[in-house]
Chains A and B, each alone.
Chain A
Amino acid sequence: MLLSRVAADLYWLARYVERAENTARLLDVASRLSSLPTTYAGSTNEWESAMTATGGNFLFDQRYDEANRRNVIDFLAFSRENPSSIASCLATARHSARSVRTAITREMWEVINDAWLELKRHSVDAMTPRQLAEFLAFVKDACLRLDGFAYRTMLRTDAHAFYNLGTFIERGDATARILDVKYHVLLPEGDTVGGGLDYFQWTSILRAASALTAYQWVFRDALRSWRVAELLTLRKELPRSIVNCSENTLWFLDKLANDYGRQGPAQRSARAYHASLANSSVEAIYREGLHEFLQRVIRENNAVGDAIEAQYLR
Chain B
Amino acid sequence: MTQSFDEMNGTGGELRSAYKIVKDWLEGTPPDLMRQRAREAEMLFRRIGITFAVYGDNQAEERIIPFDIVPRILTGGEWRAMSAGLEQRVRALNLFLADIYGPGEILKAGVIPPALIYQNTYFRPEMVGIKVPHGIYTPVCGIDIVRVDADTFYVLEDNLRTPSGVSYMLENREVTMRLFPDLFSEHTIEPVEQYPNELLATLQSLAPASAPREPTVVLLSPGPFNSAFYEHSFLADRLGVELVEGRDLFVLDDKVYMRTTEGPHQVDVIYRRLDDDFLDPLAFRPDSVLGVPGLISAYRAGNVAVANAMGTGVADDKAVYTYVPEIIRFYLGEEPILHNVPTWRCREPDSLAYVLDHLPELVVKMVSGSGGYGMLVGPTATKAEIEDFRAKLKSNPDEFIAQPTLALSTCPTFVGEGVAPRHVDLRPFVLAGSNGIRTVPGGLTRVALKEGSLVVNSSQGGGTKDTWVLVS
What sequence of 0s and 1s flags, for each residue 79-118 of chain A, a beta carbon within 8 Å of any chain B beta carbon? Answer: 0000000000000000100110110001001100110010
Q: CB-nearest residue of chain A relative to B245?
A: A5
Beyond A3-B244, A4-B248, A101-B237, is A113–B49 a contact (Cβ under 8 Å)? yes
The verdict on A158 contacting chain B, using a C-beta distance below 8 Å, is: yes
Q: CB-nearest residue of chain B relative to A158?
A: B261
CB distance from A232 to the nearest CB of B (A): 32
Q: CB-nearest residue of chain B relative to A159?
A: B261
The verdict on A218 contacting chain B, using a C-beta distance below 8 Å, is: no
CB distance from A160 to the nearest CB of B (A): 13
State whether B47 touches A1 (Cβ < 8 A).
Answer: no
By a CB distance below 8 angstroms, the chain B residues around A7 are 261
A219 to B27, CA, bound (A): 70
State whether B261 touches A4 (Cβ < 8 A).
Answer: yes
State whether A98 touches B224 (Cβ < 8 A).
Answer: yes
State whether A312 touches B261 (Cβ < 8 A).
Answer: yes
Within 8 A of B (CB), among A141-171: 158, 162
A102 to B248, CA, bound (A): 15
By a CB distance below 8 angstroms, the chain B residues around A313 are 261
Cβ 8 A contact of A5, one of B247, B262, B265: B247
A314 to B264, CA, bound (A): 11
State whether B47 touches A3 (Cβ < 8 A).
Answer: no
A95 to B223, CA, bound (A): 11
What sequence of 0s and 1s flags, for each residue 1-41 of chain A, a beta carbon within 8 Å of any chain B beta carbon? Answer: 11111110000000000000000000000000000000000
State whether A101 touches B233 (Cβ < 8 A).
Answer: yes
Q: How many residues of A contact B (CB 8 A)?
A: 26
State whether A3 touches B248 (Cβ < 8 A).
Answer: yes
A260 to B263, CA, bound (A): 10
By a CB distance below 8 angstroms, the chain B residues around A98 are 49, 224, 229, 233
The verdict on B258 contacting chain A, using a C-beta distance below 8 Å, is: yes
By a CB distance below 8 angstroms, the chain B residues around A110 are 47-48
Q: CB-nearest residue of chain B relative to A113?
A: B49
The verdict on B394 contacting chain A, using a C-beta distance below 8 Å, is: no
By a CB distance below 8 angstroms, the chain B residues around A312 are 261
CB distance from A218 to the nearest CB of B (A): 37
State whether A4 touches B47 (Cβ < 8 A).
Answer: no
CB distance from A228 to the nearest CB of B (A): 39
The secondary-structure label for the interface of chain B is mixed
The residue among B242, B258, B260, B265 with the most chain A CB atoms within 10 A of its own CB is: B260
CB distance from A193 to the nearest CB of B (A): 47
A115 to B229, CA, bound (A): 20
The verdict on B236 contacting chain A, using a C-beta distance below 8 Å, is: yes
The residue among B224, B234, B259 with the most chain A CB atoms within 10 A of its own CB is: B224
Q: CB-nearest residue of chain B relative to A314?
A: B259
Beyond A101-B233, A109-B49, A114-B47, is A4–B260 a contact (Cβ under 8 Å)? yes
State whether B47 touches A2 (Cβ < 8 A).
Answer: no
Cβ 8 A contact of B224, one of A95, A117, A262: A95
The verdict on B243 contacting chain A, using a C-beta distance below 8 Å, is: yes
Beyond A98-B49, A102-B243, is A5–B248 a contact (Cβ under 8 Å)? yes
Q: CB-nearest residue of chain B relative to A311?
A: B261
By a CB distance below 8 angstroms, the chain A residues around B233 are 98-99, 101-102
By a CB distance below 8 angstroms, the chain B residues around A99 are 223-224, 229, 233
What sequence of 0s and 1s flags, for each residue 243-254 of chain B, a beta carbon within 8 Å of any chain A beta carbon? Answer: 111011000000
State whether B261 touches A1 (Cβ < 8 A).
Answer: yes
By a CB distance below 8 angstroms, the chain B residues around A101 are 49, 233-234, 237, 243
Q: CB-nearest residue of chain A relative to B244?
A: A3
By a CB distance below 8 angstroms, the chain B residues around A158 are 261
CB distance from A109 to the nearest CB of B (A): 6
What sequence of 0s and 1s flags, for each residue 33-76 of chain B, a beta carbon within 8 Å of any chain A beta carbon? Answer: 00000000000001111000000000000000000000000000
Within 8 A of B (CB), among A192-219: none
By a CB distance below 8 angstroms, the chain A residues around B242 are 3, 6, 102
Q: CB-nearest residue of chain B relative to A109?
A: B49
By a CB distance below 8 angstroms, the chain A residues around B244 are 3
State whether A3 touches B259 (Cβ < 8 A).
Answer: yes
By a CB distance below 8 angstroms, the chain B residues around A109 are 49
By a CB distance below 8 angstroms, the chain A residues around B223 are 99
By a CB distance below 8 angstroms, the chain A residues around B234 are 101
Point out residues on B near A: beta carbons under 8 Å: 46-49, 223-224, 229, 233-234, 236-237, 242-245, 247-248, 258-262, 265
Pull 14 A–B residue pairs with CB atoms less than 8 Å apart, ordered by A: A3-B258, A3-B259, A7-B261, A98-B49, A98-B229, A98-B233, A102-B243, A106-B48, A110-B47, A113-B49, A256-B261, A260-B261, A313-B261, A314-B259
Q: List 15 extra interface pairs beyond A4-B248, A109-B49, A162-B261, CB under 8 A.
A: A1-B260, A2-B261, A3-B259, A4-B259, A5-B245, A5-B259, A7-B261, A95-B224, A98-B229, A99-B233, A110-B47, A113-B49, A158-B261, A260-B262, A312-B261
Point out residues on A near B: beta carbons under 8 Å: 1-7, 95, 98-99, 101-102, 106, 109-110, 113-114, 117, 158, 162, 256, 260, 262, 312-314
Q: Which 8 A-B pairs have the closest CB atoms?
A: A101-B233, A102-B237, A312-B261, A99-B224, A4-B259, A2-B261, A1-B260, A7-B261
